[in-house]
Structure 1
Amino acid sequence: MARYAERGLTRAGASRPLARLRHLIARALAGTAALWPEVEQGFVFVHAAARLLANPAGETGVKLRRRFDGLLAAMQRHRYRAGDLGPALDHFRKLARSYRPGLFHAADLPGLPRTNNALATTPSNGCSARNATTSGAPQGARRPHPARCCGVPCGL
């Protein structure tokens, strides 16, 4: 045993800090085990929305809209399954309804990107127009000079 203690190892070969970490993780998982079914149900709903919006089958906007509305209705009907996470699902549904009018245009127009992320970056140097804004800055913050938003002249 002294040989193991000199090297900071337990009999199983793991270091003491690693053994302590394993113990802490096991204790945390045991302490939160009752919450996992609710988290899993919430994940099922949100992941289903993400899969639907990805539209891998290339469905029309009308069909996607109908399926998305059905999913939101199912979230409402089965809200009780999410337990304490029910308010989070309500918030998700509220935001989804507010974004609904613009969610399905890309499905109806071939060649239209689903997001404008590709359009926000110029291909020449990767400078983003978002770098030149002060949307998250404190009030009174100065907007950087557009040509120097990221240190590379980009013509914004």
Structure 2
Amino acid sequence: ADELAQVSEVVSAAAGGGVSIRAVRNAGFFLLVEVDPGFDLEGAMVDANPFSKLPFGAIILTSSRPTSFRPSARFISRMFAPQSGVAEDPVCGSAHCALAPYWSQVLNIPPGEVIEVRQASKRGGDLDLIWEKESGRVRIQGSAVVTMRGELYL
């Protein structure tokens, strides 16, 4: 109960209050926090700094709230890792490796079925996930943007 209270306090501080938490899951490096769909996760101005108070490498906020950018999305998410110098990751593949099994269970999505999702950062991104339960793997498909290109000579 103390852990949930601490997580709730930190999430409220980061998101400016008014956040109701539905579930919290330890996903190794990640702390997965499902927020109530009534909270506008996509539009929220989130300050990542309070998340550094939690003993996790990154914090994932997620919700089943519909999104205007991708109405077919089964869930949305945002990922913050201030301890690693990443205030918010625009689209995080490794976070979705924790999210796919979680939401497959919560939404009763059979393994092998395509799950359409949206990472609701400022830049945002749409992904298609397939949770392969037997192998414990998540297949991820989406579009990428090249932000830098270079050569390194050693």
Give the alignment's TM-score, normalised by structure 2: 0.23
More strand by share: 2
TM-score by length of 1: 0.23
Which structure is higher in helix share?
1
The structure number with the bigger radius of gyration is 1
